[in-house]
Amino acid sequence: MKKILVSYTLPEEGLKPLKEHFEVIYPTDKYRFSREEILDKIAEVDGYLAVNVSVDAEIIDAAAALKIIANYGVGYDSIDVDYATQQGIVVTNTPTAVTEATAETAFGLILSLLRNITYCDRKLRNGDPGFTWGMLQKHTGSSLYGKTLGIIGLGRIGQAVARRAITFGMNILYYQRNRLFDHFERLSSARYVPLEELLTQSDVVSLHTPLTESTRHLLGAAELDRMKPSAFLINTARGPVVDEQALIHRLQTGKLAGAGLDVYEEEPHIPNELLQLENVVLTPHIGTETIEARIAMAHEATLNLLTFFEGKNPPHQVN
């Protein structure tokens, strides 16, 4: 029986199909294996279900029998895919299982930010003496209806966010490397525009692009300066897609109205400046943190492993 290393505890329902087909090595008395434990255990396994951990050349070199790295998540920037490919190791991800949960997180940030939900909750709990009921203009937010949502990266998650935005009466612009010539534009009235135009016209900009060398600091100082001072930025993709310090400066100086962030440049570190800003909603990378999504991700990763060891191409191979 093939051996699979799992670096992190998963919902038992998610592990069940994995255990039915493989000998599974996973932490039972704690929530994750340390890097040292991974380096020790990975030498004997055929597959590695990588959960919330960096997979670099050192780990790959320690894996003498490793044939496949099944990433537990859609983003695989934590895996040295090029080196894995050189060593003949297949890398897969779980792009479909994360779609709806991540879209919900993005839209939750939009609602919380524009309607001041988190802000008002914080003021009420802290008993802020300057925060009173019925004071017009003190905590007035912005309506979503009629606003323009600019989506950067209209893949599965971007489209799921767009569907939610349509029900709120928002207009959709999108930008990515290739325009979508399919029914989605017709159904959603989404309009493809260059990045510069999207930034200048959007009231809310939501990022849904993977982290690559070409997307690192995709939104830097110059791009952020194109956005309206009344606009909001939402990032549930990857932290380094945005120049974090440039974003902080524009939030501090009123050049941007606010930001909803689930990801950061140097996780788990969050700059103190962000923590102090009232016009920012922060969550700790919880885009896929629903029990349903976590179970579905385990099933999708298991399908990649099963398909590979049946001698077929996994459905979500990335190299």
Which CATH number do you get for residue 17? 3.40.50.720
Whole-number Å distance between alpha carbons of 284 and 208: 17
Phi, psi for 232 (deg, rounded to 5):
-125, 145
In a domain, residue 318? The reply is no
**Among residues 13, 44, 196, 267, which one is catalytic?**
267
- CA angle 165/169/172 to nearest 5° reads 55
> What's the number of domains the chain is made of?
2
Whole-number Å distance between alpha carbons of 203 and 229: 9
Whole-number Å distance between alpha carbons of 41 and 4: 10
**Among residues 238, 250, 294, 316, which one is catalytic?**
238
The tens place of each residue's pLDDT in the chain, 319 residues long, gives 999 999 999 888 988 989 999 999 999 888 899 999 999 999 999 999 999 889 999 999 999 999 999 999 999 999 999 999 999 999 999 999 999 999 999 999 999 999 999 998 988 888 877 666 665 556 789 999 999 999 999 999 999 999 999 999 999 999 998 887 677 888 788 999 999 999 999 999 999 999 999 999 999 999 999 999 999 999 999 999 999 999 999 999 999 999 999 999 999 999 999 999 999 999 999 999 999 999 999 999 999 999 999 999 999 999 9
Considering the domain architecture, whether residues 193 and 278 belong to the same structural domain is answered as yes
Tokens at 210, concatenated: 């993977």
Residue 267 appears among annotated catalytic residues: yes
**Among residues 139, 191, 249, 285, which one is catalytic?**
285
In a domain, residue 315? The reply is no
Tokens at 79, concatenated: 């895996």
157-193 in b/e burial notation, b at 16+ Cβ within 10 A?
bbbbbbbbbbeeebbbbbbbeeebeeebbeebebebb
Residue 285 appears among annotated catalytic residues: yes
In a domain, residue 316? The reply is no
114-123 in b/e burial notation, b at 16+ Cβ within 10 A?
bbbebbbeeb
Whole-structure pTM value: 0.92
Query: Domain residues for 181?
Result: 99-282
Contacts of 129 (CB under 8 A, 6+ apart): none
